[in-house]
Amino acid sequence: MDNAATPSIRAIGLGRDFAEHTAVHPLDLEVNPGEVYGLLGPNGSGKSTTVRMLTTMLRPSRGTAQVAGADITRDPGTVRRRTGVVLQGTALDPLMSARELLCLQGRLQSLTSRQARARCAELLTAFDAQEFADTPISKLSGGQRRRIDLAVALVQRPDVLFLDEPTTGLDPASRRSLWEEIRALSAGHGVTVLLTTQYLEEADQLCDRIGILRAGRLIASAAPHVLKEETGDRVLTLRFRDAPAAGRARDLLTARGEQLHAAEATPHAVSIRLTRPGADGETLLTLASAGLHAESLTVDEPSLEDVFLRLALTPEGATAA
Side chain identity at 70, as an amino acid letter?
A
Domain boundaries 9-229, corresponding CATH code:
3.40.50.300
Which residues contact residue 27 at a Cβ distance below 8 angstroms, ignoring those fewer than 6 apart?
Answer: 11, 13, 14, 15, 50, 63, 217, 218
Which residue, 256, 247, 202, 241, is CA-closest to 224? 202
Q: What is the pLDDT of residues 179-230, one digit of tens each?
A: 888 998 898 889 999 999 988 999 999 999 999 999 999 999 999 999 988 8
Query: Looking at the DSSP assignment, which residues form a beta bridge with residue 237?
Result: 271, 298
Among the listed ranges 90-99, 158-167, 311-320, which one has the minimum average pLDDT value?
311-320
pLDDT of residue 319: 41
pLDDT of residue 320: 39
pLDDT of residue 264: 58
Q: What is the pTM assigned to this prediction?
A: 0.81
Which residues contact residue 62 at a Cβ distance below 8 angstroms, ignoring those fewer than 6 apart?
Answer: 13, 14, 15, 16, 26
- How far apart, in whole angstroms, are the C-alpha atoms of residue 319 and residue 15? 19
Q: What is the pLDDT of residues 28-80, one digit of tens each?
A: 999 999 999 999 999 889 999 999 999 999 999 999 999 999 999 999 999 99
Q: What stretch of H or E contains 219?
A: strand 217-222
Q: What is the pLDDT of residues 250-300, one digit of tens each?
A: 999 999 888 887 755 688 999 888 888 888 899 999 999 999 999 999 988
- How far apart, in whole angstroms, are the C-alpha atoms of residue 231 and residue 306? 8
- Listed in order, the ranges of the chain carrying CATH 3.40.50.300 are 9-229
Secondary structure of 10-45 as H, E, C letters = EEEEEEEEECCEEEEEEEEEEECCCCEEEEECCCCC
Q: CA gyration radius for the chain? A: 24
Which residue, 68, 69, 70, 46, is CA-closest to 58? 46
Q: Give the model's confidence band at 1: pLDDT under 50 very low, under 70 low, under 90 confident, else very high.
A: very low
Compute the Cα dihedral for 111, 112, 116, 118 and give only its sign. Answer: negative
Q: How far apart are the first and last CA of the chain?
A: 21
Query: Under a CB-based contact definition with an 8 Å cutoff, are residues 263 and 309 in contact?
Result: no
- Listed in order, the ranges of the chain carrying CATH 3.30.70.790 are 233-301
- How far apart, in whole angstroms, are the C-alpha atoms of residue 258 and residue 302? 17
Domain boundaries 233-301, corresponding CATH code:
3.30.70.790
Which residue, 198, 170, 195, is CA-closest to 183? 195
- DSSP labels for 269-290? EEEEEE-STTHHHHHHHHHHHT
Q: What is the mean pLDDT of the chain?
A: 89
| Residue 252, CA distances (Å) to 226, 278, 288 in order | 33, 18, 11
